[in-house]
Amino acid sequence: MHLHKYEKIWLTFGFAALIIFLSVVGVSAFHQGHTPAGGLQKVDPDNLESTPPFDNPGVHEKKDGSYEVAVVAEAFGYTPGKIQVPAGEKVTFKVTSKDVTHSFSIVDTNVNMMVVPGQVNEKTHVFRDPGKYLIVCNEYCGSGHHFMSMEIEVVDQ
């Protein structure tokens, strides 16, 4: 098979670009510790009432002064629907779903998680500014999807 000179040049360029691209993505993913979302902790979605911390959804202060918030998502709302956390403290959200895939997105922050039944997703955030924050579901989950929201009130200590 005969390859024209320009064909060889473009093939070489194409393969080199592919190798460089995959190397950059691969090395940076390992370096930054990227992992697939969730899946670290499993729960039985039919048995959340007796599975800590989801047997007692809400804000819990931990011994080190940080806060843990357990949230259960379910069509079409979150439990609890309204919480209060202090500004300037570490708040770790642990979220799971009772039924279908939802999401947990806190507007104006970088907290944006998938909420998958059977899995616990976790994200820690420090709210710098007091005020009210809206949480919305951005995974279409059924006819009441657009009603699905929650509110966080961040208060000065």
Q: What's the rounded Cα separation, in Å, for the pair 41 and 120?
A: 5
135 binds Cu ion (CB under 5 A): no
Question: Interface mask (CB under 5 A) for Cu ion, residues 35-74, using x and -?
Answer: ----------------------------------------
Residue of 106, 116, 137, 152 that binds Cu ion (CB under 5 A): 137
How many beta carbons lie within 10 A of that of residue 143, not counting itself?
Answer: 9
Residue of 48, 91, 116, 148 that binds Cu ion (CB under 5 A): 148
Q: What's the rounded Cα separation, in Å, for the pair 154 and 127?
A: 7
Instruction: Give the shortest CB-48-to-Cu ion separation in angstroms.
Output: 16
Are the beta carbons of 155 and 124 closer than 8 angstroms? no
Size of the site for Cu ion (CB under 5 A): 4
Are the beta carbons of 81 and 150 closer than 8 angstroms? yes
150 binds Cu ion (CB under 5 A): no
85 binds Cu ion (CB under 5 A): no
When the beta carbons of 38 and 67 are compared against Cu ion, the nearer one is: 38
Q: What's the rounded Cα separation, in Å, for the pair 142 and 73?
A: 13
141 binds Cu ion (CB under 5 A): yes
102 binds Cu ion (CB under 5 A): yes
CA 4 to mean position of chain CA atoms: 50
Are the beta carbons of 45 and 99 closer than 8 angstroms? yes
Sites of contact with Cu ion (CB under 5 A): 102, 137, 141, 148
